[in-house]
Amino acid sequence: MQIITTKSDLQAVVKACKGAKKTIGLVPTMGALHAGHASLVKNAVKDNDVCFVSVFVNPTQFNNKEDLAKYPRNIERDAQLLQSIGAQYVFAPTPEEMYSAEEMNTTFEFDFAGLDKVMEGKMRPGHFNGVVQVVSRLFYLVQPDKAYFGEKDFQQLAIIHHMVERSSMAGTFGALQIIDCPIVREESGLALSSRNERLSAEEKETALAISKTLFASLKWAKEADATVAGVQKRVIDAINAVEGLEVEYYEIVDQKTLLPTNTFANAIGCVTVYCGPVRLIDNIKY
């Protein structure tokens, strides 16, 4: 496995792969890799001739500098995991390598068609501008045939699909396919997340109430008198009743538009919960 740190070296490797007519899979990550990331990489290795994984904590998608500073980083451990599951190339640049000083200090502009105005976008202004900025740059540099993303970040995934649909019409990324991969959970049900590393053993036990409540809500939604508003309130109340947890939002929305819905058909429930100081996200499809 080769670790690449500069854009010029990356483009040279990509050019060689393209010249050899090899298919390329890309898994964009911010490091602190876990079994959820590994599942994406394994799919990319299986589906393509070569697999590139980016390990880059993107500063432009953090609107909280303290959160950026605390984000776990361990490139040595990440590289060991990636090598063990067959990734051929790791792109691990510095922020200065990825962006000019002007780009670091200027908000990336993009037409999100309203997908950035709800849920995470509402709570974290500018977050998705940074996501689209880095992902579009990685697509340009790596020119993948397929790119793999987890459904835990469902709103992010919807926005990436939107970006590719818009860009593909202009031929920017060719026939790039976005591959949606299911949430990977611990046996307990807790959604795997790099942020879980910041939870104490006690907090991790407390956080189990998030997924347990979401799975319970599938049964609540099937009750004869169930309404979307009623289930939404029931989920919020149940999680908030657990000491140490505080719901920031729980929205039941249409999977395509991310707009509020009055029906469970094609609906997804997206939640953000503070467990102590750690902000956790999860979702459930109805």
The residues, ordered by sequence, that sit 6+ positions from 29 with a Cβ below 8 Å of its Cβ are 37, 40, 53, 54, 55, 56, 78
- Return the amino acid letter for 6: T
State the catalytic residue, choosing from 34, 37, 127, 161: 37
Q: What is the 3-state secondary structure (H, E, C) of the chain?
A: CEEECCHHHHHHHHHHHHHCCCCEEEEEECCCCCHHHHHHHHHHHHHCCEEEEEECCCHHHCCCHHHHHHCCCCHHHHHHHHHHCCCCEEECCCHHHHCCHHHHCCCCCCCCCCCCCCCHHHHCCCHHHHHHHHHHHHHHHHCCCEEEEEHHHHHHHHHHHHHHHHHHHCCCCCCCEEEEECCCECCCCCECCHHHHHCCHHHHHHHHHHHHHHHHHHHHCCCCCCCHHHHHHHHHHHHHCCCCEEEEEEEEEECCCCCECCCCCCEEEEEEEEECCEEEEEEEEC
Is residue 37 part of the annotated active site? The answer reads yes
How many other CB atoms are there within 10 angstroms of residue 178's CB atom?
18
Active-site residues, by number, are: 37
